Amino acid sequence: MSSVVVSAQSVGKRYTIGHRAVDRAPTLRDALVKGAGRVVRASSDILQGRAVVAGDETEDFWALKDVSFEIQAGDIVGLVGRNGAGKSTLLKILSRITDPSCGRIEIVGRVASLLEVGTGFHQELTGRENIFLNGAILGMSRAEIRGKFDEIVDFAGIDRFLDTPVKRYSNGMYVRLAFAVAAHLDPDVLIVDEVLTVGDADFQRKGLAKIQEAARAGRTVILVSHNMGVTTALCKSAIWLDGGLLRQVGPAAEVTRGYMMETTTLQGQFMSSLEGDAGRSFRVLDVQIRDAGGDVRRTFSCDESISVVIDYFVRRSVPHLRGCMEILREDDVLVMVSDSMDREHNALSALQEGHGTIRIRIPERTLSPGDYRVSLNFSGAGGLPDQDIDCPGHVAGFSLDDHLTPRGNARGGFFSSRLDWTSDCEV
Amino acid sequence: MGEVRFPSTSTARFGHVSGRGADGSASAFRAQKQRVVLEPGRADRTYWSDLWSYRELFLILAWRDVAVQYRQTIVGVAWAIIRPLLTMVVFTAVFGDLARLPSEGETPYAIMVMAGMLPWFLISTSLTNASNSLVMNSSLISKVYFPRLIVPVACSAVALIDFIVSSVVLIGLMIASGFAPAWQILFLPACLLLAIVAGLGTGLVFAALNVRYRDFRIIVPFLMQLGLFASPVGFSSSLIPEPFRLIYSLNPAVGVIDGFRWCLLGGQADIYWPGFLISSAVSLLLFWAGVRIFRATERTFADVI
């Protein structure tokens, strides 16, 4: 029995941006000053006989346009697309945070999203109190929470600290509790955004387990991931958004193949189109792969160091910002993961507001010759995925050639480090 | 090789996934599924029924704000008592003893000041809390859907609890000076409601403006400071000369404070009915306008905040 759970008919979302988004008056004082400026300009226009065009300082931007699709009950649907393609906007509309500007969506049953993990947790309140608070925020009734309370506590494994304020919790406990509440929501439609690529392995495992479990119980899952491997493995079908338009809907394998063919042809550079995310606290504007001399290149020698250079913009400072870079081989095998918390000092933990650059240096002789793709993800405190922080995913690619060793490009394997070979016959 | 390959971290454990929660019992209460339709302007039509269906969230948020405020019980309770108490002492000294202004009838000056101080703090606290509420809860608003009106209204619950705690001071004063209210006290709940309407109505306007223009945060405390002296808190409103009394009553706090004094001070306080009615009308008008403005801007909060 398959019935339609989500049906979208020519859904569109319009944001008014342009001049207003750039210098939208953040304070009343600015607004007054700007208002005065507008009056002066308008009156000088009139004096010079020019037509005063209403709304000349704004322009419309369609984050989503004419998107239609249907999702069957029990489906796992992947939502793919580049950053700024409208994925977040679609999720926001589905979870009712913002209204569509046109079109119509019908959803049968309760929608919950794992991007809300930990939303509304209050530092001063105890674990017990936060379970009720968070549950209510996610749409559970008190009776429902009471019924699942023991299960949630058990799942999170925090029973000894139930009456301790969560501000004294360790990061891990905090995440476990937050996740436990969300995991017991039993929604009809579950929206999962990026949990698979952010956070520690345990969190990833639980995220995946939750998806599989939900699917087994006949629920519908909408999964947003930049990891095409996971998308293809888990999803029956996929939706590909491109520049706010629906590019392709169909079987997951087919859609992801098309999407990957397009993204991997990007020449070392990341096409940034982040208009839809202008409100985020942390935004990734551009990512390039550069050589030691600072030139953007696509192909490198194994014997030179490579820098992944990220241009960012911080609108509001994000405490404990954490970055994670994955390097994947052409065939989607994960080769290397680097975390900004690998070193004792997390360089991202206190970024100043404004524009800046993050550099990740991959030393020479690290990876084997071949083609690689770089995936970047960022998270806030607790390693939780956060809608307020850009998670660009696959951003760039590069190739490595080995010119200096006899084995050269025929090396194979993962690494090209030169190891020391010694024998007791030498000195 | 038709098999799909994916990163090892996420796939190696596929086999270990437990079947927790995937029971058949879920289907029982799944029979009555709600159908949600999302389209432009849809939220407007279902707004009030939505508000009702989110009443549990309202209760929990109100409880959260009160719990956090009174978590360090000593500080929370002390603050609700010390603030009006000290202000009352200063006002009584300045207006009553130094300026020798008349009280309401035979009422001790301190009691008269306190009877005006309580509703004033109720109004100003609910107004201030409501106007900051959206910005304070921005992470909620940008991530979860619920009728936004819940947030500022839940905040005024804290003001109400503060009011109840502070009224201990007035009760103490009354017992100490052997002053008993008369039958008029029966109308106190109505005045209480009027105070909340006045504070919340204005607070809703400021809350919406606060999201748009962040410097309203600075303006609100300043307005409240002005209001403390512009409203008849430290003196009786009967001191205002007759020709100006109607205009003076345009301040919604005037009606609320006069109403409180009439309720609490027995027959001692004469109420100026035309002024009271105008003031109450202004309060209701502000509340109506507040809800309208809030509703009109609410849809864009998530995009702006």
- One domain, residues A258 and A335: no
Distance from CA of A291 to the nearest CA of B (A): 27
Candidates B10, B26, B305; nearest CB to A196: B10
Whether A113 and A254 map to the same domain: the answer is yes
Interchain contact, B9 vs A334, CB within 8 Å:
yes
End-to-end CA distance of chain A: 77
Contact B119, B257 (CB under 8 A): yes
Nearest C-alpha of chain A: how many angstroms from B54? 8
Residues A256, A113: one domain?
yes
Helix (H), strand (E) at residue B245: helix B242-248
Nearest CA in chain B to A121: B140
CA–CA separation, A72 and A1 (whole Å): 10
- Pair A285, A218 in one domain: no
The nearest CA of chain A is from the CA of B222 a distance in Å of 15
pTM for the model stands at: 0.67
Q: What is the CATH number of the domain that holds A219?
A: 3.40.50.300
Q: pLDDT digit string (tens) for B94-149? A: 988 888 888 887 788 889 999 999 999 999 999 999 998 888 888 788 778 888 89
Q: Do A232 and A295 sit in the same domain of this protein?
A: no
Burial of residue A369, with CB atoms counted within 10 A of its CB: 0-12 exposed, 13-18 middle, 19 or more buried? buried
CATH of the domain at A344: 2.70.50.60
Tell me, yes or no, whether A208 lies in a domain. Answer: yes
Four-point Cα dihedral A47, A48, A53, A57, nearest 10: -90
- In a shared domain, residues A147 and A205: yes
ipTM over 0.85 threshold: no
Residues of B within 8 A of A124 (CB-CB) are 67-68, 71
Strand partners, A359: A309
Which chain B residues touch A129 with a CB distance below 8 Å? 64, 67
Same domain, A258 and A281: no
Residues A200, A79 share a domain: yes
Partner-chain contact B17 A213, CB within 8 Å: yes
Closest-CA distance, A164 to chain B, in angstroms, reads 13
Tokens at A287, concatenated:
């990512």
Distance from CA of B49 to the nearest CA of A (A): 15
CA dihedral B193, B196, B202, B204 (to 10 degrees): -110
User: For chain A, what is the domain count?
Assistant: 2
Domain annotation covers residue A226: yes
- Structural domain of A152: 68-264
Domain final residue, candidates A229, A264, A299: A264
Q: Is A33 a domain residue?
A: no
Has residue A384 been placed in a domain? yes
Contact A99 B68 (CB under 8 A): no
Of A264, A299, A314, the one marking the end of a domain is: A264
pLDDT tens across the length of chain A (427 residues)? 468 888 888 888 888 754 443 445 566 666 677 666 666 665 565 555 444 444 445 567 888 889 999 998 888 898 988 777 888 888 888 888 888 888 889 888 888 776 656 677 888 889 999 999 888 888 888 888 999 999 888 888 888 888 988 888 887 788 778 878 877 877 888 887 765 444 455 666 666 777 777 778 888 888 887 667 677 778 889 999 988 888 888 898 888 878 877 765 443 334 443 434 566 788 888 888 888 888 888 788 888 899 999 988 888 888 888 888 999 887 778 899 998 888 888 888 888 888 889 999 999 999 998 888 888 888 876 666 666 787 777 778 888 888 778 888 888 888 988 898 988 886 5
Residues with Cβ within 8 Å of B147's Cβ and at least 6 positions away in sequence, in order, are: B47, B50, B51, B54, B298
Instruction: Measure the CA–CA gap between A282 and A277, rounded to whole angstroms.
Output: 9
Question: B263-299 burial by CB neighbour count: b if 16+ within 10 A, else e?
Answer: bbbbebbeebeebbebbbebbeebbeebeebbbebbe
Helix axes B109-136, B252-264, angle to 10 degrees: 130
Q: How many CB pairs under 8 A join A and B?
A: 180
Yes or no, beta carbons of A119 and B143 under 8 Å apart:
yes
- Given a contact cutoff of 8 angstroms between Cβ atoms, the answer to whether A97 and A139 are in contact is no
Mark whether A335 and A206 lie in a shared domain: no
Is there a domain that residue A28 lies in? no
Cβ–Cβ of B37/A204 closer than 8 Å? no
Same domain, residue pair A392 and A257: no
Nearest-angstrom CA–CA distance, B277 and B252 = 10
Judgement on whether residues A145 and A246 belong to the same structural domain of the protein: yes
B183 CB neighbour count, 10 Å cutoff: 9
Does residue A358 sit within a domain?
yes
- Both A150 and A192 in a single domain? yes
Contacts of B146 in chain A (CB under 8 A): 137
- Chain A partners of B40 at a C-beta cutoff of 8 Å? 99-102
Question: A120 and B19 in contact by Cβ < 8 A?
Answer: no
Chain B residues touching A105 at Cβ < 8 A: 37-39
